[in-house]
Structure 1
Amino acid sequence: MNNNKVLIIDDEPDLLKLLSITLNRMGIECDTAHNVASAKTKIDQNDYRLCLTDMRLPDGNGLTLVDYFIERQPDSPIAVITAHGNMETAIEAMKRGAFDFISKPVDLANLRAVINSALNVSTVQSHSDSKANPGLSRLIGQTPEVESLKQIILKVAKSQAPVYIKGESGTGKELVANLIHENSPRKSQPFIAINCGAIPNELMESEFFGHKKGSFTGASSDKEGLFKAADGGTLFLDEIADLPMPMQVKLLRAIQERSVRPVGSEVEIPVDVRLLSASHKNLAKLVSENLFRQDLFYRINVIEVQVPALRDRSKDIPELVSHFIKQLSNRNDIEPPKIDPKVLETLESYSFPGNIRELENIIERAITLSSGEMITVDDIFLHSAAKAQSHDTVQSQRKSQSLDEYLETIERQELLSALEQTKGNKTAAAELLGISFRAMRYKCKKHLIDD
């Protein structure tokens, strides 16, 4: 088997020749086919490191070949060639497992980038056993929910398709994004993460796409932007639901054209990024309410990964507690405390609205407040107990308050509680409460909660 041998399938002789010459100059041997029937014959008779197929062939649809190739050579990637503007077909191909797509007319720089990424996909290491992959050790847990998530991470890591990571606040969506990157062909390139809710509207375009010196007040020098910083690697857009509509339009164009235009520039800059995004909000619901663009939703949601809530994997809590105790003890240079078994029982029966982030904060607070060598139930101060006490206090105040005053009191208590759980981190507190960072900042100002 020639490890660099590639199969190219297209019914246009000129394009087939151009692709073959380009790959030959990269030192890659090619086989060619001009229709579905001849392609299937060659797939049955040869092993290929990569397959490139057109979507429209004289005797069938390229999607048929995507399924056929993946079934027979599952460890090798297949990329599709599609007419410019026909994104629906490219997205459908990636949903079926295609590695990436190339638009016609073919841009040779983009073609070479796709080829190089595809050839970096390992065909030696088996991806069937997540326990054999030490790179997933940061995803703590052994429950079926976690093992399934690990398998999904390894599977989607081999693709270039955009991934939407869905899950409640505090479940570890950024960790999942990082692990997808670390197990992908782009692992040696940058991983850039940004919280969309934390960027002021007026700076968003500059942050994403960069700007030229003098393009606006305060632009004292050129800036490359997040897309360019992630060039060759992975860009993770957390809380993508917080993007304002005008920015959603610009993001969609950047994704489709694979290029960005810095603020104040007349020139498009090509970028090669794998896009991952996440939100704790229901994007499909936001689309139905016209608060998120449907075309952008379909473009970023080619593959959806669900991160389970901690209450759905409560049997992982003892291992997570042990991990956090060891981590925090090492950080603070102290002897790790023991833990009362009743603490684990209590934690396993708790619903954890703040998920793993809340568990980490509980353990950190318990280590700080524990007076002995063992963490007891009295040291963990679960949020539910604090909330019950807060509720009793508010109820006693209700008799002397109007409804508006009463609701304001509840809102202030929830803000303070979230800030306490996140050690004053407003971005994390906003995620815990299910609101944007801008809304969090406004509400803190309204309630005179200091920065």
Structure 2
Amino acid sequence: MTRQIALIVDDEPDIRELLEITLGRMKLDTRSARNVKEAREWLAKEPFDLCLTDMRLPDGTGLELVQHIQQRHPQVPVAMITAYGSLDTAIHALKAGAFDFLTKPVDLGRLRELVATALRLRTQESAEQPVDSRLLGDSPPMQTLRKQILKLARSQAPVYISGESGSGKELVARLIHEQGPRNEQPFVPVNCGAIPSELMESEFFGHKKGSFTGAVEDKQGLFQAANGGTLFLDEVADLPLAMQVKLLRAIQEKAIRTVGGQQEVTVDVRVLCATHKDLAAEVAAERFRQDLYYRLNVIELRVPPLRERREDIAKLAEVMLRRLANDTGLDPARLDPEALEKLKNYRFPGNVRELENMLERAYTLCEDDRISASDLRLADAGPAGENGEASLAQIDNLEDHLEDIERKLIMQALEETRWNRTAAAQRLGLSFRSMRYRLKKLGID
């Protein structure tokens, strides 16, 4: 079996020797370069499976080398070695296309983890294929999204996934994880808005038995559960400021301390996050820490809303109806041309999730396995105008219409908080008593 080869670029002989010995013990062959010029010569001469480069080099910077490798040898994962505390430099390297980064003095355990992850990525090269069939649609925005997912899966950079509610942000995060070198390790999604603030630290970092009333045994936190894999923070804008400080430290130090624990525990976790809110606006309003924003938003990936890819609606509807038929054991239904046209002209404020709910309802109402425009009940579904207003012609009874809107918003809040009624009430600005009254009035169980 051919041994894998790593390129080490550093002008300090002691660092080069340390890296050569460590990688040699991992059964890798190494080549060394003292500057950018020598590194480029090596890269032109033979193929490499990995490159480790210092940031400061006699004839340039490691950033220039990252950019050169991205252009000429994009299949080679490159990791940047930076001075301790130069987080800005590391972030610039990740944005330029670096796979990951290390800080000096080099922690050998962390180095071995990084190398192992990079080599797993190289073994996946032959299996690199288009993102699987769960991400439906052939519109230009979706083709772009697929390419971005494949590119981001190669990196260990934190990714901020922006997009409206129901657009599929968690699916995108899951695909980034599954297409990357951590795919055999856990993917742990967490809805930050659904965790009560008093339990948040324990949920994220775990706790020791007896550390507080009710802590009857040791409990593992989300960071430990995701160790080696990916932690997906959905609705990250809902984190309280006190928790944002602790999260920032855990991400920067790659270590956590359990509630009631004395020692810090190192964790190797890639962090992906999402929110339907405008995170930059939350920073401007001082509801979200700027330093955490820059740490999470190394790379932003926007998931397009359904109204920007209307040409995908027919395919999405076909697949969803087929899935409904499989789930129920009944014959699949098909959309009338008029019904499909209505869907294509609808604004879909709830995006793919709303389309799915709408088709599920229509599937149960339709006759002869044909879904007509009237089965869709688009007038009941709410906004249809370009600015989200329902036209007066669509409203038969104002009280009923307002009740439909109230039900829709409450259902959306419940779905987004995984049916945590307290969290849903907070999201809607209601007291729990008021929320309970509305659920009873609307018949929502």
Q: TM > 0.5 between the two?
A: yes
Q: How do 1:103-252 residues align onto structure 2 when only pairs under 5 Å count?
A: 103-122=103-122, 125=125, 132-133=129-130, 135-252=131-248
Residues 375-390 of structure 1 mapped to structure 2, 5 A cutoff: 375-382=371-378, 386=382, 388=390
Distance 2:243 2:176 in 1: 25
CA distance 1:183–1:233, change in 2 (3 Å): same
Distance of 1:3 and 1:182 partners within structure 2: 26
Q: What is the SS of the residue equivalent to 2:331?
A: coil
Partner of 1:325: 321
| Structure 2 SS opposite 1:305 | strand
Match 1:280 to one of 271, 276, 282: 276
The alpha carbon displacement at 1:348 in A equals 0.2
Offset of residue 33 of structure 1: 1.4
Q: Which residue of 2 is the match for residue 63 of structure 1?
A: 63
Q: Which runs of 5+ in 2 are unaligned?
A: 384-389, 440-444
CA apart distance, 1:444? 6.0
Look up the match of 1:291. 287
Deviation at 1:12, TM superposition (A): 2.0
Matched with 2:387 is none
Letter aligned with residue 415 of structure 2: N
Q: Find the aligned partners of 2:234 and 2:55 in 1 and give their Cα distance.
A: 33
Change (3 A) 1:33 1:256: same
Instruction: Assess, with a 3 A threshold, how the Cα gap between structure 1 residues 439 and 125 changes in structure 2: closer, same or farther.
Output: closer
Q: 1:310 to 1:386 in 2, by over 3 A?
A: closer
In the other structure, the counterpart of 2:434 is 446
CA distance in 2, matches of 1:91, 1:421: 35
Conserved in 1, the CA contact under 8 Å of 2:190 and 2:233? yes
Q: Distance in 2 between matches of 1:44 and 1:223?
A: 52
Pair 1:425-2:421 in alignment: no
Alpha-carbon deviation of 1:372? 3.0
Equivalent-residue separation in structure 1 for 2:239 and 2:316 (angstroms): 33
The structure-2 alpha-carbon separation of the partners of 1:429 and 1:169, relative to structure 1 and needing over 3 Å to count, comes to farther
Name the CA distance, whole Å, in 2 between partners of 1:383 and 1:3. 65
Pairing of 1:298-337 with structure 2 (within 5 A): 298-337=294-333
* Alpha-carbon contact 1:75-1:123 (below 8 Å) kept: no
- CA 1:385 to 1:213, structure 2 compared with 1: closer, same or farther past 3 Å? closer
Structure 1 stretches of 4+ with a deviation exceeding 6 A read: 389-392
Kindly indicate whether the alpha-carbon contact (under 8 Å) linking 1:165 and 1:279 is maintained by their aligned counterparts in 2. Answer: yes
Give 1:44's aligned residue.
44
Q: Distance in 2 between matches of 1:58 and 1:285?
A: 41
- Code of the residue aligned with 2:292 in structure 1: it is L
Please give the secondary structure, in 2, of the residue aligned with 1:69. helix
- 1:257 equivalent to 2:253? Answer yes
TM-score (norm 1): 0.89
Query: Which residue in the other structure is 1:83 paired with?
Result: 83
In angstroms, what is the RMSD of aligned CA positions?
2.4
SS in structure 2 at match of 1:382: coil
Matched with 2:407 is 416
Distance (whole Å) between structure 2 residues aligned to residue 436 and residue 104 of structure 1: 45
The whole-number CA distance in structure 1 between the counterparts of 2:147 and 2:380 is: 34
- Determine the C-alpha separation between the residues in 2 that align with 1:217 and 1:16: 52
Distance in 2 separating the partners of 1:429 and 1:354 = 17
Equivalence for 1:402? none
Q: Secondary structure at the match of 1:136?
A: coil
3-state DSSP of counterpart to 1:122? helix
Q: Matched residues, percent identical?
A: 51
Deviations 1:111-159 (A, max 9, x none): 111000000113674699xxx53x4211011111111100100011000
Give the match for residue 400 of structure 1.
Answer: none
Q: Work out whether residues 3 and 49 of structure 1, in 8 Å CA contact, stay in contact via their aligned partners in 2.
A: no
- 1:256-296 deviations in Å (ceiling 9; x for gaps): 11111111111111111111100111001111111111111
CA deviation after TM superposition for structure 1 residue 375, in Å: 1.0
Q: Decide whether the 8 Å contact of 1:426 with 1:440 is kept in 2.
A: no
Distance 1:371 1:116, change over 3 A: same
Q: Match of 1:4?
A: 4
User: Match of 1:64, as an amino acid?
Assistant: E
- What residue number does 2:16 align with? 16
SS in structure 1 at match of 2:271: strand
Deviation sequence 1:178-212 (CA, Å, 0-9, x none): 11111001111110001000000011111111111
Asked if structure 2 preserves the Cα contact closer than 8 Å seen for 1:3 and 1:48, the reply is: no
Q: Name the count of aligned residue pairs.
A: 429
SS in 2 for 1:52: strand
Cα deviation code 1:347-381 (max 9, x no counterpart)? 00000000000000000001112233211111111
Asked if 2 retains the 8 angstrom alpha-carbon contact of 1:206 and 1:263, the reply is yes
